[in-house]
Amino acid sequence: MSSLLLLLFIFGVMVWFVAYHTLALPLTGFVAYVLLSLCSFLFYITARLEGEIPTSIILRSFKTHKRQNYRELCTLFTRRGLIDKRIGDLLHAGLIRYRRGRYVVTARGHLVAKLLFWYQWVFHRPSVG
Amino acid sequence: MDTFIVGSGLFLFLLFLAFQAVIARFTDPEAVITWLIRIFLSITGLLGIGFIVRIGSVEWFIGSFIIYTLLTTLYVFGIFSIVEASITLFLLREIDRDASRPPSVDTIIRRRLERLVQSGELAKRGESYVLTKRVSYFVLRERGLQMLRWVFGTMGA
């Protein structure tokens, strides 16, 4: 599906090249098309999120149980769905690796962590996640 | 005109980021969504004023607004949203801080419940949590995700 979306995007770029000289605002049109495509792709990827999303699960659980304590809410989750799957994603993305019984952040992972730190500092956000 | 439109849209988006960075230092972090909306509308108003005083044409106004809106949408859903709510990134930061072991399920659930209480989604009554009617970032994101899954959910991977 991702390949199909990419092919569709490239097709759109080719159409733009062909129609370039007929467009009143070709640069604006191209930039708007690229941004719209990125938005579509972003929303598509967001919809395919896997793993347990705590907020969704917690809020949904209140539809059937109006009042819950902490222990009851914890039973909604598994370590596998909440943590292991995400650790697997980080390993797969090369941001961490498993070495001598512990997880180690790679150089790429350090870069991402550093970017997050700077983003939080610039935009005064209290924490990540 | 073409370059002016794209440049204006980009400039407005950078202005949006600058306002967010400044205003965030003087406001409640939990009110961030409200302030993002206010900043977006204020800058749109500035664009409108620019159109009224004839800085640019109708094409300039519409084109700049479209590019500014798309850039802001990409930022809010692609960067802001992910940084705010991603547990994967939280795990990465925690492992970066202390590599001995990742956080526990307990830590993650407690953090999320604290944020839901702070944002007003949940209220704590003694030892129990109850749902409030307040709509905040997490509920909006959840409803947005449900809609996206409905739109894209039947398509193959």
Whole-model pTM: value is 0.79
Q: Which residue among B92, B105, B116 places its CB closest to the CB of A58?
A: B116
Measured between beta carbons, the chain B residues lying within 8 angstroms of A111 are none
List pLDDT tens digits, range A32-47.
Answer: 989 988 888 887 777 6
Measured between beta carbons, the chain A residues lying within 8 angstroms of B108 are 54, 82-83
Q: Band the pLDDT of A15: cuts 50, 70, 90.
A: confident
User: Which pLDDT score is estimated for A1?
Assistant: 66
Shortest Cα distance, chain A CAs vs residue B120, angstroms: 12
Q: Band the pLDDT of B152: cuts 50, 70, 90.
A: low
List pLDDT tens digits, range A74-126.
Answer: 888 888 888 888 888 889 989 988 888 888 889 999 998 888 888 988 888 87
Using the Cα atoms of residue B24, residue B28, residue B31 and residue B34 in order, give the sign of their dihedral: negative
Which carries the bigger pLDDT value, residue A13 or residue B98? Answer: A13
Q: What's the complex ipTM?
A: 0.77
Residue A51 reports pLDDT greater than 60: no
Which carries the bigger pLDDT value, residue A53 or residue A31? Answer: A31
| Mean pLDDT of the B24-30 span | 83
Residues 6+ positions from B125 with CB-CB distance below 8 Å? A67
Q: Which residue among A28, A68, A74 places its CB closest to the CB of B63?
A: A28
* Total Cβ atoms within 10 A of residue A122: 12
Which carries the bigger pLDDT value, residue B101 or residue B87? Answer: B87
| Cross-chain Cβ contact A127/B90 below 8 Å | yes
| Mean pLDDT of the B99-122 span | 79
| Mean pLDDT of the B13-25 span | 93
Using CA atoms, how far residue B48 sits from B69, B72, B94, in Å, is 14, 17, 45
HEC assignment per residue over chain B:
CHHHHHHHHHHHHHHHHHHHHHHCCCCCHHHHHHHHHHHHHHHHHHHHHHHHCCCCCHHHHHHHHHHHHHHHHHHHHHHHHHHHHCHHHHHHHHHHHCCCCCCCHHHHHHHHHHHHHHCCCEEEECCEEEECCCCCHHHHHHHHHHHHHHHHCCCCC
| Cross-chain Cβ contact A31/B9 below 8 Å | yes
- CA distance from start to end of chain B: 41
Q: Band the pLDDT of B103: cuts 50, 70, 90.
A: confident
Shortest Cα distance, chain A CAs vs residue B79, angstroms: 10
| Mean pLDDT of the B118-140 span | 77
Q: What angle do the packed helices B2-23 and B58-75 form, to 10 degrees?
A: 40
